[in-house]
Structure 1
Amino acid sequence: MTFAPNTPQDYATHAETGTWDLLWVHLRPRPEWLTLLDWPTVAPGIRRLDLTPVISQRVATALEAAVGHHRAGLQHATAFAINAVEEALLWCSRQNPRQGASDPQVMAVVEYVSARLPEPHTVASLARIAGLSPSHFAHTFRRHTGMPVMSFVQRLRIDAARELLELTDLTVAQVATRVGYDDPLYFSRRFRSDTGTSPTQFRSR
């Protein structure tokens, strides 16, 4: 299961289960993980995948490795832990009924945009990357991701902006430029619309 930010959570064991083991990780996902995390929604802010026993064991092994790397505190421990989490998500994607991560044309566009957020993107320009007509590409992209093309691009940009605001000392204007917004005021409006807070308020929190 995945929980979106600010989603209320309450844990308890099932009456017939007794004890249980809980493996969890709290993180801000990389932009390229968003398709991997596009699971079926079961409640507001909560998504879930039903895994086969074999895939479930592989996911558990990867998450256990992530915990081990985190606790070890050795050089590059964080990078090893993040890679282990990504491995778990990749195994989960094998069971995703939406199969957004399995379409090579969609994935090529997601990877292309993630690596080039500052560049101007349009449905037509990204359709050329996918090798499809704009209308066919727009239909295919929405079918596999559940979002219009440019809404997905905006989500990638806002997620990257959140990370830059949290982890760097770049000004709001510099962050806007880094993620593809030439106008800082327009960026601030888009950021507030998506997150409910201004870039400055987000950073101060």
Structure 2
Amino acid sequence: MTEMARPVRYRAGVPVYRYGTAPEVPPVSVLRFHAGAPPGHGQRHIHDFPVLTYVARAVSSPEDGSARDGDLYVLAAGAVIDPAVMTRIAEGYGVFFDPAAIGGEGAASWSSWRAHPLLLPFLHGIPGGLLRLRVPPERQPAWTTTIAAIETELAGRAEGYRRAAVAYLTLLLVDVARLATDVVGDLRRSNETLLAQVFEVIERRFAEPLSLRDVAGSVGMTPGYLTTVVRQRTGRTVLDWITERRMVQARHLLAETDLPVGEIGRRVGIPDAGYFARTFRHNNETSPRAWRRAFTGA
């Protein structure tokens, strides 16, 4: 993986990685790999954030289905990924990102993924979690240049580097959406309405007391059935997503306002200040006040 991602739990013995949320962690990160260092250290793993794997140069031009120059793998969050299928890569890049960066300030990381056109390709649901696309030869130099530009911004960390890195990432995601036109069309036509409704309810009501039973009642499902569906499709539970949405908003308010911590807790649907602090620490590995100090220097 990358230093920006860490395993937070295991599912059936497979590590589940989460994108870092510390103030110093950029919204995008890049990992270079080659034949001697395959993606994911060659081990099966799961991640709960989007990943692109781009093959700049394959070991050869095989006919056995392994990687070719310009191959692009769109990795589905929540799926078990076996890097062994991405073989014969001489030079490649993993582009990891926090989906909250794509949705705009204060946006939930996945709460609007059914609506965001740049994130739809990551919902492909292909067995094995890998959607394989091909970047046309005439676009391959642009991909290498754009990824290098992201690396330059991350290395220099000059003022505005976060916005610059996301801008370059957006260029890549626009290309992905165009290359995956058929897949995205299928997703739009398929029965994705239930999950869309779940995230719509969370987006609308996360700032108030909200339970699994509340969400299930809003979409006309039993809590048990809804939990199963959401976990199978996303790798996380409804309560996980409620908490994630609240934490995204809490981090935004801590960084962009001078509101008291207790007031921020109330604004994200956790009126008990002590419980809010414990929840924030559990999900961000630091206290709300420490987060604010690290992000603002105040």
TM-score (norm 2): 0.46
Shift of residue 126 of structure 1?
0.8
* Secondary structure, counterpart of 2:259 in structure 1: coil
Moved over 3 A (4+): 6-10, 12-15, 17-28, 34-40, 77-92
- Residue 31 of structure 1 pairs with residue 52 of structure 2: no
- Residue 201 of structure 1 pairs with residue 290 of structure 2: yes
Q: Which runs of 5+ in 2 are unaligned?
A: 6-18, 37-58, 60-87, 101-106, 114-118, 147-159, 185-189
* Equivalent position to 2:133, from 37, 47, 53: 53
- Residue 133 of structure 1 pairs with residue 154 of structure 2: no
* Secondary structure, counterpart of 1:53 in structure 2: strand
Alignment-mate amino acid for residue 143 of structure 1: Q
Using the alignment, how far apart are the partners of 1:103 and 1:122 within structure 2?
Answer: 22
- RMSD between superposed Cα atoms in Å: 4.6
Using the alignment, how far apart are the partners of 2:286 and 2:203 within structure 1?
Answer: 23
In structure 2, relative to structure 1, the CA distance for the partners of 1:105 and 1:168 (3 Å cut) is same
* 1:105-152 residue CA offsets vs partner (Å, 9 max, x unmatched): 122111221232212212222112222123322222222222222222
In structure 2, relative to structure 1, the CA distance for the partners of 1:85 and 1:168 (3 Å cut) is farther
CA contact (8 A) 1:192 1:198 kept: yes
Matched pairs, number: 182
Residue pairs, 1:184-199, within 5 angstroms: 184-199=273-288
Alignment-mate amino acid for residue 132 of structure 2: T
Q: Which runs of 5+ in 1 are unaligned?
A: 41-47, 68-72, 96-100
* Equivalent position to 1:114, from 200, 203, 221: 203
Using the alignment, how far apart are the partners of 2:124 and 2:289 within structure 1?
Answer: 31
Shift of residue 192 of structure 1?
0.9
- Residue 11 of structure 1 pairs with residue 32 of structure 2: yes
Using the alignment, how far apart are the partners of 2:96 and 2:172 within structure 1?
Answer: 8
* Secondary structure, counterpart of 1:160 in structure 2: helix
Shift of residue 174 of structure 1?
1.9
* Secondary structure, counterpart of 1:33 in structure 2: coil
In structure 2, relative to structure 1, the CA distance for the partners of 1:39 and 1:179 (3 Å cut) is farther
Using the alignment, how far apart are the partners of 2:288 and 2:124 within structure 1?
Answer: 28
Residue pairs, 1:81-96, within 5 angstroms: 94=183
Alignment-mate amino acid for residue 213 of structure 2: A
CA contact (8 A) 2:198 2:215 kept: yes
- The residue aligned with 1:45 is none
Identical residues among aligned pairs (%): 23
Using the alignment, how far apart are the partners of 2:176 and 2:269 within structure 1?
Answer: 27
Pick the structure with more helix per residue.
1
- The residue aligned with 2:66 is none
In structure 2, relative to structure 1, the CA distance for the partners of 1:89 and 1:193 (3 Å cut) is farther
TM-score (norm 1): 0.63
